[in-house]
Amino acid sequence: MEEREKKYVPVLVRFDAEGRMRPVEIQFAPGQRYHIDKILDVRRAACQSVGGVGDRYTCRIGGRESYLWFEKGRWFVAARR
């Protein structure tokens, strides 16, 4: 299994009329922005690979599934080292 690290990332978020937040775009690095095509699932879960507990968003980005975590007011991904 490849090693991963917790990487905090800026996320563009949209709020609906009921106050639910939906991440729209992730900025992984300067100049690397990824549009989130669809949110497939949201649940409270622990991140086994890098630690932490929060809301795990299962996202489709460019046809691939990826996890985005919201923990204590910050967004992170489990990035490859």
pLDDT tens-digit profile of 17-58? 999 999 999 999 889 999 999 999 999 999 999 999 999 999
Domain positions in the chain = 4-80
CA-to-CA distance for 43 and 34, rounded, in angstroms? 22
pLDDT the model gives residue 68:
97
Task: State the Cα–Cα distance between residues 11 and 25, nearest whole angstrom.
Answer: 6
pLDDT attached to residue 1: 60
* Rounded Cα distance, 69 and 76, in Å: 5
